[in-house]
Chains A and B, each alone.
Chain A
Amino acid sequence: MSPTVADFFHNSFRLPESLAYLTAAVIHCVLIILVVAVGALLFIWLERKVSGRIQDRLGPTRVGGAFGWLQTLADGIKLIAKEDITPKDADWLLFKLAPYIGFAASYCAYIALPFADGWAARHMNTAVFFILAVLGIEVFSPILAGYASGSKWSLFGAIREAAQVVSYEVPLGMCVVVPVFLCGTMNLVTIGNMQAGLFTNWLVFNDPFTFVIAVVYFTCATASVNRAPFDLAEAESELVAGFHTEYSGLRWSFFFMAEYGSMFLVSGLAAILFFGGWHGPIPIGEILGDFLAYVVTPLVGIVAWLLSFVFKNVHTADHVAVAGHIANSLGCLNFLLKGLIGVTVMMWVRWTLPRLRIDQVMTTCLKYCVPIAAICFLGALGWRVADWTTGADIPLVGIHYGKGGRGMVRESWVEQTQSAKVAENDVPDAPITDPNASDGPTGSVEQSPDELLTMKGGDQ
């Protein structure tokens, strides 16, 4: 197991365990806030730039020098300076509360989202479930905002949002279940690591059904975060601005932070569930494995050895881990890029398509998405049971783990983790190329993966 941040503080600075965990939590929170807030800044700027280019305009060009990259910050400052108006008819408390609920939900879901192998604020064996559940809470924000605004247009927006998001949870859940049963775990880190290797290992190419499911997932995800063409809750040509008609200033901008936050979240989830997570399409790191092992690692080892004068308690084996962290940083970039691509696709769709009508949105969900998801669910299940060849079998480069299909991936992974557990005390760090490098128990509250698997029905 790799040491957590809390362990690091506990071991290196000899903080009491409780304080170490608190410090770690604060660091995690700040990091995620940075991701959400800076992400929102970036995405709003990106949205303006993308829409500008799509519409034959330039978009922001001035603030912050080139490309107007500080435009959002300037807007944010303007929004902070604006008056925060509460309408007379509004339900005061709920009106004030609603934006924060949305932001908090979007933010909380990030806790379980791994940005690279093991880079999650909190390792959860049920991360998929947690993210979906917490994202579901986000719907309260528009509903409360619409209800509390005391405006009829806001109320329409709220009711539309309620009907739409609740309906789309169904196909969304069905889509998410497919990677979960293919990998046999709800742990996002494990799901991500199982797709290591060539891009044919990605679950989207596992079989035709998962390919369709990935498309359905993206559609439903777009709908559940209220992006065009499903942005009925804030349809400006019908409902003025929908649920946030009466909001102004910073409070209004919180809705947008939440929206862009969850946009990246669902894109990131798609990246992990279907598109290989933090693994690039071609495993350069593994191809260069020898190079890493014989050239880079000793270099890193020297650096780590120098560092060890500062942090006396670093084990010698941690030198290798430092190289692992470098690989992980690249993986994190990979993951962010994939999420960014998802977000950009959402923007592209938004600035191209007209908006659907409410009944058509519901039809899309209930008549198309749900049946297609259900059929693909059964199809993927059948594919798995019949153990037909999968994308993972295409022998382009013989360095991936799943020689016998996705099922074999899982079994070989279970074997490895079991043997790793036996040898846990001897080898605290898994090698870089091990797909399960930082998977498994990281905090005291979590179960080990094999315990989880045994719990889930003993399919061994």
Chain B
Amino acid sequence: MATQLDDPRIIEFDVRTDEMLVNMGPQHPSTHGVLRLVLRTDGEIVSEVEPHIGYLHRCAEKIGENLTPRQWIPYTDRMDYLAGMNMNLGWALAVEKLVDHELSEKAKHLRVILAEMGRIASHLVGMGAYGLDLGTFSPFLYAFREREKILDLFEEACGARLTYSYLTPGGATADLPNGWLQKCEAFLEQFEPIIQEYHALLTTNAIFVKRTASIGVMSPEMAVDFGCTGPVLRGSGVDYDLRRDGEERYTEMYDGYAFEVIVQKDGHYPRDHDYPAVPKEAVLGDCWHRFYVRMLEVVQAIDIVRQAIDRYSTASGDYGVPIKLTQKLPKGEAYLETESPRGQMGFYLISHGDSIPWRVRARSSSFCNLSVTSDLCRGCLIADVPAIVGSLDLVMGEIDR
């Protein structure tokens, strides 16, 4: 170590080893893509973490300045590629906000079904990948097995399995095929009991609890200060969910739906289902709680989809008329955030009256969630870094855009 000690007598007490700079990523199994973390470590203890991003930067915002809103939809898919439906929805709503387009009831419920199914699929990946970060492989495949069925449903609805481009400004590109709702219900019926397996393998597993409880504790103030949103924010005990607290244009989709925001209030989570108990070691705002909120949101999403299926099948109106490809946008600017699985996904659209927007901006939730990493990881062990980063459930496509 290059440090010069002022008092040579204290050298015998200085048992620290050399500090080491280690690159975790961009090619590393646990950084979920191309995140690069520069760790300054003293042995196993991490003293500093510096995230470096931009390896997946695809100039989406710049491209958006040269395309009409409908042409830009495929680019939103590729941002958060694990929740393409939710990204489509966010962009569609932002454009509708600008052109002041009113949706039919049917289109709204259709969107709820797909958005919540997308949330389940995304949280399944988040859960499985988190198990992978902690060194257990099997839950990942159990999660993917179920996600595969959701993707099958999506494929049937829109023809794509990952990049859907299904929900467009004005509604959706097509109605759900015949029999889709029955298949969806059958899937939910089959999927719901399986969540208990996940709880047994991860949530309540002793080693899992040991690895996640009291690790990476984030206070509610800190979470808000760093702009963390979604399960990360609610895992810290902040009662804020855009599906309830968001803008009118978004919350009206969820009007009349019975769901409770998943957050620990007065020391306990909603008790509408049989959830496993919070272990004694867990502290509000730690990795375990972030994971737990995600798991509970899966159950919540199942409930919402069930309600939406009922309402969709009786709703009036059309599934929506997509706005024209070259429709002139009114002058003005609109910003709208939706609750995507990873947090609040905001789209900002400035138009000067052309069919092509003047400026497009995507506010990504993972971007803000990642920015908290260096503060959370200070002083933890190397093995905790994947545990903390994994609990934020990042998608690099969304961060780098």
Contacts and interface: CB of A to CB of B under 8 A. Distances in A.
Contact between A and B in the complex (any CB pair below 8 Å):
yes
Contacts of A240: 28-29
Given A56-B145, A353-B207, A238 B385 contact: yes
A56 B381 CA distance: 33
B384 interface: yes
Contacts of A419: none
Contacts of B208: 354
A379 to B, nearest CB: 26
A235 B141 contact: no
By CB atoms of chain A within 10 A, which of B141, B383, B385 has the most? B383
Contacts of A237: 29-30, 132-135, 386
B137 interface: yes
Interface stretch (A109-117, A215-223, A357-365, A402-410): A357-365
Interface in B141-192: 141-142, 145
A55 B135 contact: no
A238 B28 CA distance: 8
A456 to B, nearest CB: 41
B142 A56 contact: yes
B29 A236 contact: yes
Contact of B135 (A51, A156, A235): A235
B138 A351 contact: yes
Interface string A34-75: 000000000000000001001111000000000000000000
B357 interface: no
Contacts of B22: 152-153, 156
B205 interface: yes
Contacts of B145: 56
Report the interface size class on chain B.
20 to 34
Nearest to A355: B135
Contacts, number: 86
Given A51-B137, A55-B142, A354 B386 contact: no
Contact of B138 (A54, A152, A235): A54
Nearest to B385: A238
Contact of A354 (B28, B136, B384): B136
A55 B136 contact: no
A357 B380 CA distance: 11
Nearest to B202: A354
B134 A354 contact: yes
Contacts of A156: 22, 44, 382
B135 A56 contact: no
B235 interface: no
By CB atoms of chain A within 10 A, which of B135, B382, B386 has the most? B135
B205 A55 contact: no
A55 B131 contact: no
Given A55-B141, A55-B142, A238 B386 contact: yes
A352 B382 contact: no
Interface residues of A, number: 30
B20 interface: yes
B141 A238 contact: no
A327 interface: no
Contacts of B382: 156, 238-239, 358
Nearest to B39: A152
A263 interface: no
Interface string B23-63: 00000111000000000000110000000000000000000
Given A229-B135, A354-B205, A360 B210 contact: yes
Nearest to B205: A354
A104 interface: no
A269 B342 CA distance: 50
B211 interface: yes
B89 to A, nearest CB: 31
Given A56-B145, A351-B138, A359 B381 contact: yes
B26 to A, nearest CB: 12
B50 to A, nearest CB: 16
A238 B383 CA distance: 6
A19 B53 CA distance: 68
Given A238-B386, A359-B381, A360-B210, A354 B135 contact: yes
A261 B391 CA distance: 36
A79 interface: no
Nearest to A163: B44
A356 interface: yes
Contacts of A238: 30, 382-383, 385-386
B201 interface: yes
Contacts of B205: 353-354
A55 B201 CA distance: 12
A6 B81 CA distance: 68
Given A57-B141, A153-B22, A356 B136 contact: no
A59 to B, nearest CB: 12
Contacts of A235: 135, 383
B207 A229 contact: yes
Contacts of B43: 159
Given A238-B386, A354-B211, A355-B135, 18 more contacts: A51-B138, A54-B138, A55-B141, A160-B44, A228-B135, A228-B136, A236-B135, A237-B135, A238-B382, A240-B29, A354-B134, A354-B136, A354-B207, A355-B207, A357-B211, A358-B383, A359-B44, A359-B381
- The 8 A-B residue pairs with the shortest CB-CB distance in the complex, in nearest-first order: A355-B135, A237-B30, A354-B134, A354-B136, A55-B141, A357-B383, A354-B207, A55-B138
Interface of B: 20, 22, 28-30, 43-44, 131-138, 141-142, 145, 201-202, 205, 207-208, 210-211, 381-386
20 contacts: A55-B141, A56-B142, A56-B145, A57-B141, A152-B20, A156-B382, A232-B383, A237-B30, A238-B30, A238-B383, A238-B386, A352-B136, A353-B136, A354-B131, A354-B207, A355-B134, A357-B210, A358-B383, A359-B381, A360-B210
